[in-house]
Amino acid sequence: MTNPYALALHGGAGPKPGEDYTIVEAHLEELAKEGENLLKAGETALDVVEIMVANMEISGLYVAGKGSAPNTAGDYELDASIMEGHTRNAGSVSAIQDIVSPVGVARAVLDKSPCVMITGHGANLFAVAHDFEQIKNSENYYTLPVGVSQADIEQHDMTHGTVGAVALDIYGNLASATSTGGVFGKPAGRVGDTPIIGNGTWADDDIAISCTGTGEYFIRAGGALTVANGYKMAGDSLNEALWRLLDEVGRLGGDGGLIAVSKSGEIAMAFNSDGMKRASVSNKREVYATTFAPCR
Ligand code: ASP
């Protein structure tokens, strides 16, 4: 009998009704199947969430990695983070520029530095020192992700998107990773919730969480730790814990969504936006990908 395993992915909670996200859903479904195979074969949750997010970063389908948009100064500043539950090891980068895989750099911060978070110029220096692939010509590299037009970017309306993954491996360990191009029209140096450990990303012995939405509201609402604390200390069900944060985000006027997996392999996803691109799979649950369907 296989030990329990579980994987959930999100491709951001900013989809627009009427847009066709078939390609995105197919990509998420394929990735979830790949992730399931990796977990079944004994890959760690930490490795799997990194692989999933790195794959979404290079796809150009999401507002992360290749699908990111420039800030108002014309620069591409990206944020990413990763955390392993049982060790509480974590790494993150913010406002990193022209590196293909921000989540890979975040993982290197976790593995190879005494720091948790490295930002801006320092993050770039760190990435180069660790031989991460650089983008030589950003004009030719970045692309509009599915559902985003040039007009959206020019409107500077804080439209957003992000990618994330949470996993439970067959050893009973949890991990989470999140990566983003942030919100459109962000000023230089703006940092959202994504690279903040305990806010956009969290994993401990009991729960792993990845958030997506207008980061300012997630930061002000307390972020992923609110979910973990609700789940572990207030007796919330997994779903209630997600809504503990999301209701507060909504009360403040924000929107977004989040995904979580528990130590028992339970998966929960929730959003208060129009939809959330997402997929999930576990030893008890077939691969399922959708954008606008209500969470189940
Ligand atoms: N949370 C991200 C940020 O504020 C954006 C998103 O998740 O859509 O940078």
**pLDDT tens digits for range 65-81:** 999 989 999 999 999 99
User: What secondary structure, in 3-state letters, does 90-105 show?
Assistant: EEEEEEEECECCHHHH
**Domains of the chain listed by start with CATH number:** 6-290 (3.60.20.30)
Q: Tell how far the Cα of 167 is from the centroid of ligand 1, in angstroms.
A: 20
Nearest CA to ligand 1 atom 7: 212
Mean pLDDT over 237-249 rounds to: 98
pLDDT in tens, 81-124: 999 999 999 999 999 999 999 999 999 999 999 999 999 999 99
> In the prediction, which pLDDT does 11 show?
97
Residue 22 annotated to the active site: no
| 19-23, 204-208, 217-221: the lowest-pLDDT one | 19-23
One of 162, 194, 290, 291 is an active-site residue; which one?
162
Using a 6 Å CB cutoff, which residues line ligand 1?
Answer: 12, 14, 160-162, 180, 182-183, 192-194, 200, 212-215
Q: Given a cut of 90, is residue 144 above it in pLDDT?
A: no
**Across the chain, which distance is largest between two alpha carbons, in Å?**
55
Band (pLDDT 50/70/90 cuts) for residue 12 is very high
**pTM above 0.85?**
yes
Q: Tell how far the Cα of 41 is from the centroid of ligand 1, in angstroms.
A: 32
